[in-house]
Amino acid sequence: MSTTIDHHASTTARAVVVPTDGTVEAWVAEVAALTQPDDVVWCDGSEVEKQRLLDEMVDAGTLVRLAKRERSYLARSHPSDVARVESRTFICSERQEDAGPTNNWRDPRLMGRELHAVFAGSMRGRTLYVVPFSMGPLGGPISQVGVEITDSPYVVASMHVMTRVSRDVLALIDAGHEWVPAVHSVGAPLGPTDTDVAWPCNDTKYIAHFPESREVWSYGSGYGGNALLGKKCFALRIASVMGRDEGWLAEHMLLVRVTAPTGRRYHLAAAFPSACGKTNLAMLQPTLPGWSVETLGDDIVWMRPDDDGALRAINPEAGFFGVAPGTGVDTNPTAIATLEHDVIFTNVALTDDGDVWWEGLTPEAPEHLVDWTGADWTPGSGRPAAHPNSRFTVAAAQCPSIAPDWDDPAGVPVDAIVFGGRRATNVPLVTQAFGWDHGVFLGATISSERTAAAEGTVGELRRDPFAMMPFCGYAMPDHWAHWLTMGDRLNPARLPAVFQVNWFRKGAGGRWLWPGFGENSRVVAWIAEQVDAAHHVRPDAGAVDSPLGRVPAPGALDVDGLGLPAADLAELFHVDRAAWRHEADLTEAFFAELGHVPDRVRAQLDALRARLTP
């Protein structure tokens, strides 16, 4: 598809655009006519190009070159531009009901007029960069392509890391391949602050998605989730709609390969909301002898049925855009090893010898730092040195645990799908779904309990179905219906087994009942054994039924050497029927808020209640 600016707010729902001659060149010319940049640069994706941009930003004072890490840099943002802005993130579908109650809906014609007004002249004094990129290996059967226009060199350099930027994308489009147009401008800059600013921004922000025309328009923010439009905007919000319409899945999931001591391989895709152990599982270092885990992706997975009816998956990204705080040698040594060189750090602290630091990197903080705002910091300052959402942007290929074939265009067959939340009570350590429909129900009811550190009532459930609440480009109940349809299309003999895990259950006095981290490999090993049982590879399933699903039979979960008290192990799988009947009532109320929940999902709630009845 190709587009041009709609200066007259067309009666068709096309954002600020209408179809033209089908060329990227015409689209770029029209966007340039609207935004009025001083120059237009077509990017080629080369290392020379990326290094030139990085050097120019260092010379301009908007990046700090790190003396202690080769080819690595520190960026600092405006204090108002440090995270995704969900309140200004819009789904502009033609019908409001298609966006659903969990998305911010705006009429596409009205949004088009607003965007036209703010983008007019927004790139004066800057360069307009044209960034052709592929999500997934170029030309792969599960891959998609797009073109981002941006006036931010920081965004261009980051897109080099996070996607596959190449002029070959333009050749593919010229040959007729569908593509997603994405336009980004940081907008008119805010006034000066007391911090060095890596990118300008504006108080007025829009991150607008147009599902029918497959477009993204982003204004006013330079932060990654709002500005790297190949990431959440394309790879999840737009791609989820594409998947619904075309028969595939775009999901907020990690992807790993697990290899057993026998050499048998298993591929797991797993959805976890934030702060629930996603990155640690993506880079798991097993403690069980003979087991290994290779990283295929840490954040987004695209899955498509193959000719044999198996679900094949790729990681469409080329890099990691990870949260720095809490990432340390003790919690995630693989991530730390990934960050030794060629990294763009954003909003972390700077050490006196030219390195970076954040809370959780080391047990003790340095005596002096320059914090993420550019101010002096000491351990007694009473404020974090790094922003809680500070980030690192690094190529996936640098990860020590990356699989050698992580970017195979054909992807890998998915053997298991895992859902997880952060629950101090109720949810067992691991549960296997009774079947695909029950698995969809588990995904639809992912939740975490709010703590005293989070906004809201302590203990209240924060719902995040499929870990997709902020990222699904259409109504959540329709997303669940699409998953049910996908299950119907797959070969029953190749259908992935579905599981739910919870590393965070607590006992009396708030004690963690499970050690977590590398010991989670024990749960992964049991999941692999259940996959074998489902495919009749092994006769003994090692599982028993509970009201919530199938759980490890006595002795089936390897806990040798953990020193785990028998009472703690029992508590990890205890089902409080009264508490679960109350939770079923909460789930029914949640479904009522969403509206048209599929009958097959509601039937799973009824079945749960029946199993909970004494």
Q: How many whole angstroms separate alpha carbon 452 and alpha carbon 454?
A: 6
Q: Is 159 helix (H, G, I), strand (E, B) or coil?
A: helix
| 60: amino acid identity, one letter | A
Q: Which of 43, 92, 233, 276 is catalytic?
A: 276
Q: Residue 225, annotated ligand binder?
A: yes
Q: Residue 252, annotated ligand binder?
A: yes
For residue 496, the tally of other CB atoms under 10 A from its CB is 24
Q: Residue 423, annotated ligand binder?
A: no
Q: Residue 472, annotated ligand binder?
A: no
Q: Residue 232, annotated ligand binder?
A: yes
Q: Which two tokens stand for residue 597?
A: 């929940």
Q: Residue 609, annotated ligand binder?
A: no
Is residue 42 within 8 A of residue 24, CB to CB? The reply is no
Q: Residue 299, annotated ligand binder?
A: yes
Phi-psi region of 150 (alpha: psi -120 to 50; beta: other; left: phi over 0): beta
Q: Is 9 helix (H, G, I), strand (E, B) or coil?
A: coil
Q: How many whole angstroms separate alpha carbon 393 and alpha carbon 383?
A: 24
- Closest to 429 in 3D by CA, of 262, 590, 557: 557
Q: Residue 346, annotated ligand binder?
A: no
Q: Residue 278, annotated ligand binder?
A: yes
Q: Residue 518, annotated ligand binder?
A: yes
Q: Which residue has the tokens 């074998």?
A: 532
Is residue 255 within 8 A of residue 268, CB to CB? The reply is yes
For residue 605, the tally of other CB atoms under 10 A from its CB is 18
Q: How many whole angstroms separate alpha carbon 50 and alpha carbon 318?
A: 15
The question of whether 276 is a catalytic residue gets the answer yes
Q: Residue 68, annotated ligand binder?
A: no
| 167: amino acid identity, one letter | R
> Which residue blocks in 472-520 are alpha helix, DSSP H?
476-489
Q: Which residue has the tokens 């909460």?
A: 586
Q: What is the DSSP letter of 165?
A: E
Q: Residue 223, annotated ligand binder?
A: yes
Q: Which two tokens stand for residue 288?
A: 């069980």
- Closest to 71 in 3D by CA, of 387, 345, 319, 333: 345
> Which residue blocks in 88-200 are alpha helix, DSSP H?
96-99, 108-119, 153-162, 168-174
Q: Residue 391, annotated ligand binder?
A: yes
Q: How many whole angstroms separate alpha carbon 50 and alpha carbon 521?
A: 38
Q: Is 48 helix (H, G, I), strand (E, B) or coil?
A: helix
Q: Residue 275, annotated ligand binder?
A: yes
Q: Which residue has the tokens 């040594």?
A: 333
Annotation: binding site: 84, 223-225, 232, 252, 274-280, 299, 389-391, 422, 517-520
Annotation: binding site for Mn(2+): 232, 252, 299
Annotation: binding site for substrate: 84, 223-225, 274, 389-391
Annotation: binding site for GTP: 275-280, 391, 422, 517-520
The catalytic residues are 276
